[in-house]
Each structure stands twice: as C-alpha cells, then as structure tokens.
Amino acid sequence: MEEAVVLKNITKRFPGIVANDRVNLQIQKGEIHAIVGENGAGKSTLMKILAGLYQPDEGEIYIFGKKEKIASPNKAIELKIGMVHQHFMLIDRFTVLENIILGAEKKKGIAIDKKTCRQTIKKLLDLYNFNLDLDAKLEDISVGHAQRVEIIKVLYRGADILVLDEPTAVLAPQEVDELFVNLRRLKEEGKTIIFISHKLDEVLNIADNITVLRRGKAVGTVSADSVTKEELAKMMVGKPVLMKLDKAAAEKSDVKLSLHNIVMKGNGGKNSLNGVSLEVCGGEIYGIVGVEGNGQKELAEAVIGLRQDYQGDIKVCGKPIHGLSIKQIRDSGVAFIPEDRHRQGLVLPMKVWENSILGFHRKDKFKKGMFINIKKAEEFTLNNVKEFSIMISSIHQEIEGLSGGNQQKVILSRELSQEPEVILAAQPTRGLDIGAMEFVHRQLLQKRQEGKAILLISADLEEVLSLSDRIGVIFDGEIVAEFAPEEKTLEDIGVYMLGAHRKAGESA
C-alpha cells in the first residue's frame, strides 16, 4: 500500500524544550490515522510541521513517496495537505458558499464566478454525501455544520490528506456520529485522514491505526482493533490511569445552592433560561449536561452574579443573592471556575502570584498598610504551588507561559483556598490532558467529601457521569430531565440533550 505521509526522525526544539524528539510516523493512503497524547505531548507541533507552520530542526518528510520540504502553509496546500482547525476560521456573516471559496475564488474577469464555484462544491457535496445548505449564513447554522464547512473548504482546495485537530471537542454525541459517517465516506473515496484527539473512545471507534505521542516521542503505533482503552491510556501517560474514579460515599447535608424558576431573556425574544429550578446539597455534585448554547453559560452567569437580569430566586446557604454584587456573592461562599480560563479566569500578562490573589487582593491578609503585602502573597502562592503541584519556573513568571493544565491549577488553587461552600465549575477540564484532568476531578471529589455543594457544568459526558451524584440535562433553557448517573445510558442522555423528550416524568 502507498504511504501518504512518512515522517522520519522529526525533531523540533524550542528554547528549553524538545517538542518533537525523533518522531517516526507512517500513514497509509486511505486510512484514518489517529494521533493521541496528552496536552504538551507534541501533537500540535507535529501537525504544525505538517501544515507548514513550523520547520523541523532535523528529519525528513515524505509526501506520497516524495521527499518534501513544507516551507509554508501554501506549500502544504500545494502538496494536498489540508488542516481543519479546532477553532473554526469562518466568517459569521458570510454564506456557507462564500466561506468555502474565500481566498480560492474562481474568477470570471474581475468578478467572482459563483456559478462555477457552486457547481464544484455541489459535486464535492454529492460525492462525499455531505448535507449543507450553501446559501445559509454561517451564523445560522449549527456547530456541526460549521465543521462540515471547514472540511469542504479544504476539500475544495484539493486536499487529499486531511488533518483534523480535536474535531469532536465542540460536538454533541449525535453530531460526532454524523462527523464519523462523513469521515468514513471520505476514507472510502481514498482520502487520508489524520485525526488528533485525546478522547480515547472516539479514537478507538474511528481510527484504523493509532500513534501515541508522549513527551515529544512517538511511543508506538497500534492498530485500533488490537488495543483496549486502558492500554492506550497507559501508553499515553506511561502509567496506568484510574478510569473509574474512587468515589466514596459522601454525607449529604442541607441544600446549599438553590435555583427557583429562573427566567432570563436571550437574544431575539427567546428566553435563554426558561424556568430553571434545581437544588444542590452539601456533599453533592450536581452535573449539568447539554449541547453548548442551551443556557449553561447563562446559568453560571446568573449564579455568580455576572448577569442580574433574571427573574426567580437563587439562594446560597439559604440567603437570596439576587441583586448582590459579584464580590458579595463570592464573599458569601461561592467559588467560580469559569469555562474560558484565558478570558474569564486569568489576567494572562500578569504574574503567577498576581493571578493567585486575583479577587482576594483586598483581603486583610494580603495587606500591609496601603500596599499589597507581596511577601504574604508570595507565601500564599508558593503554598498553592506546592499543594497543587503546579509546574512553574518561578511565581514571578507571567502566567501566559504556563501550560493549560497548570493555568487551570492556579485557578483551582485560588478558588478552593477560600473555603467556599458552593463551587460552580464550568467546563473545569476543557482542553486539559489526562493527568491534569484527573487532578481536577480528585479535587472536586475531595471538596464533595468535605461537604461542599458543587454545581458542575460540562460538555464532557463521561466526566459528568463519573463525578456527579445527580445529573440534570439542560435543553433550550430548561432542565428537561434529572436522574442519577447509573439510571441512564449515554444514548438516553444524548436523546435528552437534543430535546427529543421533555420532562419524561423523571425525578431527583
């Protein structure tokens, strides 16, 4: 069989780190090849080399048997390598068609020849069995469809090798299935697909072969039929990982967080929250799942006080919080782990210790006269760094330079250090590797053990299922079902998430 991509001894060094260390990789033409590894294992670097964004320091690249130097992204396209990025590079106000042809328009004179473009794209859609409305504005289509637009975009540019970077991170389970149908169809037509992920179930489901990267090295390539999830996880982290969390029974106490009939107006006259009621007790993790954009964000924003324009009552430890400032709500014992740590959780250009006291910088313990008691703040930070084993070179380093996992640990240590009664965790493990993820999970479970109430909002079903004591499915601003994790299968939950059944008589 012909080899689409062969990498030989690829080494890429950055100051102080070897991102790829003599990586060898062989990808057959027409296969789906998954590349898995923890964050920081070198997956992205390797793919950026393939996409022409980085140049390797050593090693050789062969594309379809020919030795090539991929000096630029344009060269990559020339070599028929197409990259589907995790964050879509699309323009909301353009139509699907315009998005696809942008930058590669066929012209008639000086005008864009939309007719020819449309025909070309139609042919592609028919060939690969993609369902897309070319005249819909991008802002009106779902995330799953937007991803299809990205895929068609690279196919339109003639790609034979498709690189998909964490394509399922933004999708609901049903959409993942649709994506996989599409990918298999592409494979049938002879396209080669490189699939980057750290979701092992998906990788085992879709891939033919799997290459595992660990600390910049390729530790092995295995066929998907011959390996189990546990074996893969072991290859990834180098030690066996507890897939089932030790969840000791926790003492359930009084209700610490209660939401009663919360209604919030959204855009375009539709309510983004439509009468949400739920209660979280001390010693309990309440998980909220749902397809993104069904009110999870607004729910979190209402609880932390970022948005006050809602009706209904929210009580923390029995006291109503509607109308209180964010600071007052935090002072009443609410900790918040925001979903977007770069935008909402950290001030990236500021130092690690400065980020460690964000929000608590006016507390008496960090004061010395009119100044911040830097010594105390540093001690506090060093203590957190030790307790949460945060990997940094110095607490005076800008937090921008830390890995995602370590940044999240800084947020976690900051929020949990204040002995909160209620912890609001929104997507607390998004983008983290298995090691960091496990750490976050253990911290949340420990807080549950200590009798705190935890409201967990996550798009990662597996995470919610393994952590939660109770689960609520949110759809269209409503909790449409509530149940204990062992009561439902993944498929059932998926059905609820897509709104097929509303309130089918479930109770807590």
Binding site for other proteins (CB under 8 A): 14-17, 19, 44-45, 304, 306, 325-327, 330-331, 336, 338, 343-350, 354, 358-359, 361-362, 367, 370-372, 374, 393-394, 398, 400-403
Residue closer to other proteins, measured from CB, 317 or 326: 326
Q: How far is the CB of 430 from other proteins (least distance, A)?
A: 16
3-state secondary structure 114-181: HHHHHHHHHHHHHHHCCCCCCCCEHHHCCHHHHHHHHHHHHHHCCCCEEEEECCCCCCCHHHHHHHHH
Residue closer to other proteins, measured from CB, 42 or 82: 42
Residue closer to other proteins, measured from CB, 132 or 346: 346
Tell me the H-state helices in 209-334: 229-237, 296-304, 326-331
Residue closer to other proteins, measured from CB, 251 or 331: 331
Task: Determine the Cα–Cα distance for residues 284 and 192; give it in Å rounded to an integer.
Answer: 46
Q: How far is the CB of 463 from other proteins (least distance, A)?
A: 22
Residue closer to other proteins, measured from CB, 102 or 350: 350
Q: How far is the CB of 253 from other proteins (least distance, A)?
A: 26
Q: How far is the CB of 393 from other proteins (least distance, A)?
A: 5
Please name the amino acid found at residue 191.
K
Task: Determine the Cα–Cα distance for residues 249 and 395; give it in Å rounded to an integer.
Answer: 37
Residue closer to other proteins, measured from CB, 142 or 394: 394
Q: How far is the CB of 380 from other proteins (least distance, A)?
A: 14
Q: How far is the CB of 371 from other proteins (least distance, A)?
A: 5
Q: How far is the CB of 470 from other proteins (least distance, A)?
A: 26
Query: And the tokens for 165?
Result: 């970077």
Q: How far is the CB of 387 from other proteins (least distance, A)?
A: 21
Alpha-carbon dihedral sign for residues 408, 414, 416, 417: positive
Spell out the residues 6+ positions from residue 490 whose beta carbon is closer than 8 angstroms to its own: 173, 461, 465
Residue 54: CB atoms within 10 A of its CB come to 18
Q: How far is the CB of 459 from other proteins (least distance, A)?
A: 20
Element (H, E) at 68: strand 66-68
Q: How far is the CB of 337 from other proteins (least distance, A)?
A: 10
Residue closer to other proteins, measured from CB, 346 or 457: 346
Q: How far apart are the first and last CA of the chain?
A: 56
Q: Is 268 left (phi over 0), alpha (psi -120 to 50) or beta?
A: left
CB neighbour burial string for 271-298, b if at least 16 within 10 angstroms, e if fewer: bbbbbbebbbbbbbbbbbbbbeebbbbb
**Of the candidates 385, 469, 434, the residue with the CA atom closest to the CA atom of residue 230:** 434
Residue closer to other proteins, measured from CB, 255 or 306: 306
Residue closer to other proteins, measured from CB, 57 or 292: 57
Q: How far is the CB of 87 from other proteins (least distance, A)?
A: 17
CA angle (356 as vertex; 354, 360 as ends), nearest 5: 90
Contact call for residues 307 and 279 (beta carbons, < 8 A): no
User: Please, how many CA atoms are within 13 Å of residue 479, restricted to the half-sphere of its CB?
Assistant: 24
Spell out the residues 6+ positions from residue 155 whose beta carbon is closer than 8 angstroms to its own: 82, 124, 128, 162, 186, 191
Residue closer to other proteins, measured from CB, 17 or 508: 17
Task: Determine the Cα–Cα distance for residues 121 and 464; give it in Å rounded to an integer.
Answer: 40
Q: How far is the CB of 502 from other proteins (least distance, A)?
A: 32
Residue closer to other proteins, measured from CB, 27 or 426: 426
Q: How far is the CB of 437 from other proteins (least distance, A)?
A: 19
E-strand ranges in 239-377 read 255-265, 271-281, 284-289, 310-316, 319-320, 334-337, 367-368, 371-372
Residue closer to other proteins, measured from CB, 104 or 374: 374
Query: What is the residue whose two structure tokens read 């149940």?
Result: 483
**Of the candidates 438, 433, 439, the residue with the CA atom closest to the CA atom of residue 42:** 433
For the packed helices 434-449 and 404-416, what is the interaxial angle rounded to 10 degrees?
10
Alpha-carbon dihedral sign for residues 224, 229, 235, 236: positive
Residue closer to other proteins, measured from CB, 330 or 488: 330
